[in-house]
């Protein structure tokens, strides 16, 4: 059976799904970068740079998600999200 990625099938990904995936990838890379550097697959400078780029992407996606998510207060919805 062919995977959706290989077959060209697409799925509309929400902003929150995209943010969640970047956060997941950060966790994976946090665990693996030491191994990759020690095995010679990656230099520390590259590992730090790539991790910083993913962190920045996560921050930007989180801002988008937060801007799209209505906030509520005891008095009702926030005036900026009406």
Q: What is the DSSP string of 28-62?
A: HHHHHHHHHHHTTSS-HHHHHHHHHHHHHHHHHHH
- Domain tally, the chain: 1
Is the model's pLDDT at 9 over the cut of 50?
Answer: yes
Q: Which two tokens stand for residue 10?
A: 């697409």
Is 4 part of a structural domain of the chain?
no
Is 9 part of a structural domain of the chain?
no
Is 46 part of a structural domain of the chain?
yes
Is 1 part of a structural domain of the chain?
no
Domain that holds residue 51: 14-68
Is 48 part of a structural domain of the chain?
yes
Among 25, 44, 23, which Cα is nearest to 33's? 44
What pLDDT band is residue 39 in, cutting at 50, 70 and 90? very high
Better pLDDT: 80 or 70: 70
């Amino acid at each position: 059976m062919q995977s959706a990625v290989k077959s060209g099938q697409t799925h509309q990904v929400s902003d929150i799904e995209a943010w969640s995936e970047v956060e997941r990838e950060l966790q994976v890379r946090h665990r693996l970068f030491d191994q990759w550097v020690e095995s010679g697959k990656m230099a520390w400078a590259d590992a730090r740079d790539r991790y910083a780029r993913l962190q920045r992407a996560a921050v930007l996606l989180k801002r988008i998600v937060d801007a799209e998510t209505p906030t509520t207060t005891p008095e009702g919805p926030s005036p900026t999200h009406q």
